[in-house]
Chains A and B, each alone.
Chain A
Amino acid sequence: MSIESLFLSPVYLPMLGAALILVTKHFFTDRQRRAVEYLSALIAFIIPLIAFIFLIKPVLAHHQVHMILGTWETTLGIHYHFDGLSFLLITINLLISIPVWLYSRKTGPHQETFTIIFLIQSASIAATSLTADLFNLFVCLEVMGVTSYVLVASSEKNKAILSSFTYLIFSATAMVFFLIGTFGLYRISGSLAYDTIAQAKNMLSGSDLLVARLSLVLIVVSVLLRTAVIPLSGWLVGAHSNAPHAVSALLSGVLIKIPLFALVRLLLLVTGTELLGSILAWAGGISTLLGILLALREHHAKRLLAYSSVSQIGYIVTAYGLALASGIETEEGALLLALSLLYAFSHALAKATLFMTVGRACDAVGSKDLHVARGALSALRAQGERFPITGIAYLVAFLSISALPPTIGFWGKNTLVYLSKGHGSTYFLSITSVLTIVVYLKLSGIFLPKKAQEVQKVEPSSTALTSLSLIFLTILLLAGGLWYTDLQTFVVQVLSPLGATNATLTSYSALQDLLKTGFTTTIALLFFIIGSKTRVERRFEARRESTASFPNLFFGFALMVAVMAWWLLFPGEAL
Chain B
Amino acid sequence: MVIERILIFLLALIGFTAIVGAKNIIKKVFGLNILNAAVVLLYILEGSRIGDQAPILGKGVTNMVDPVPQALMLTAIVIGVCVTALALALAVRLYKATGSLEIDTINERLRSEH
Interface residues of B in 69-97 (CB under 8 A from A): 69, 72, 75-76, 79, 82-83, 86-87, 90-91, 93-94, 97
CA–CA, A157 and B111, complex, Å? 12
CA–CA, A302 and B64, complex, Å? 56
- Chain A residues within 8 Å of B, Cβ to Cβ: 76, 135, 138-139, 142, 146, 149-150, 153, 157-159, 161-162, 164-165, 168-169, 172-173, 176, 179-180, 183, 186-187, 192, 368, 544-545, 547, 550-551, 554
**Contact at B28–A176, with CB atoms within 8 Å?**
no
Is B20 located at the chain interface by the 8 A CB criterion? yes
**Contact at A169–B107, with CB atoms within 8 Å?**
no
Select A161's contact among B35, B93, B107, beta carbons within 8 Å.
Answer: B93
**Contact at A183–B43, with CB atoms within 8 Å?**
yes
**Contact at A162–B110, with CB atoms within 8 Å?**
yes
Contacts of A164 in B (CB 8 A): 90
CA–CA, A551 and B103, complex, Å? 12
**Contact at A146–B39, with CB atoms within 8 Å?**
no
**Contact at B69–A186, with CB atoms within 8 Å?**
yes
Select A550's contact among B20, B86, B98, beta carbons within 8 Å.
Answer: B20
CA–CA, A179 and B77, complex, Å? 12
**Contact at A169–B32, with CB atoms within 8 Å?**
yes
Main secondary structure of the interface of B (DSSP, over half): helix
Interface residues of B in 42-85 (CB under 8 A from A): 42-43, 46, 68-69, 72, 75-76, 79, 82-83
Given A169-B19, A169-B87, A180-B42, also A547-B32 (CB < 8 A): no
**Contact at A158–B83, with CB atoms within 8 Å?**
no
In the complex, what residue of chain B is closest to A134 when comparing beta carbons?
B72
**Contact at B113–A161, with CB atoms within 8 Å?**
no
**Contact at B87–A173, with CB atoms within 8 Å?**
no
Select B32's contact among A135, A149, A172, A186, beta carbons within 8 Å.
Answer: A172
With both chains docked as a complex, state the minimum distance between the C-beta of B110 and any C-beta of chain A, in angstroms: 5
With both chains docked as a complex, state the minimum distance between the C-beta of A63 and any C-beta of chain B, in angstroms: 31
Q: 9 shortest A-B CB distances, which residue pairs?
A: A158-B97, A165-B90, A142-B79, A554-B20, A161-B93, A172-B83, A179-B39, A159-B110, A547-B107
Is B14 located at the chain interface by the 8 A CB criterion? no
**Contact at A176–B36, with CB atoms within 8 Å?**
yes
Q: Sort chain B's interface into a size bin.
A: 35 or more
CA–CA, A551 and B23, complex, Å? 11
In the complex, what residue of chain A is closest to B23 when comparing beta carbons?
A550
**Contact at A547–B111, with CB atoms within 8 Å?**
yes
**Contact at A545–B113, with CB atoms within 8 Å?**
no
Contacts of B98 in A (CB 8 A): 158
In the complex, what residue of chain A is closest to B91 when comparing beta carbons?
A165
Given A146-B82, A186-B69, also A544-B111 (CB < 8 A): yes
CA–CA, A150 and B113, complex, Å? 21
What would 13 more interface pairs be, CB under 8 Å, given A161-B94, A161-B97, A168-B87?
A142-B79, A161-B90, A165-B25, A165-B87, A165-B90, A169-B19, A169-B29, A169-B32, A179-B39, A183-B43, A368-B114, A550-B103, A554-B19
In the complex, what residue of chain B is closest to A191 when comparing beta carbons?
B68
**Contact at B79–A162, with CB atoms within 8 Å?**
no
**Contact at A168–B86, with CB atoms within 8 Å?**
yes
Is B13 located at the chain interface by the 8 A CB criterion? no
A-B contact pairs, 24 of them (CB 8 A): A138-B76, A139-B79, A142-B79, A142-B83, A146-B86, A149-B86, A149-B90, A158-B110, A161-B90, A161-B94, A162-B106, A162-B110, A168-B83, A169-B29, A169-B32, A169-B87, A172-B87, A173-B19, A176-B39, A179-B43, A192-B72, A544-B111, A547-B107, A550-B103
With both chains docked as a complex, state the minimum distance between the C-beta of B20 and any C-beta of chain A, in angstroms: 5
CA–CA, A179 and B41, complex, Å? 12
Contacts of A547 in B (CB 8 A): 107, 111
CA–CA, A558 and B29, complex, Å? 20
Contacts of A176 in B (CB 8 A): 32, 35-36, 39
**Contact at B19–A150, with CB atoms within 8 Å?**
no
CA–CA, A369 and B108, complex, Å? 20
Contacts of A550 in B (CB 8 A): 19-21, 28, 103
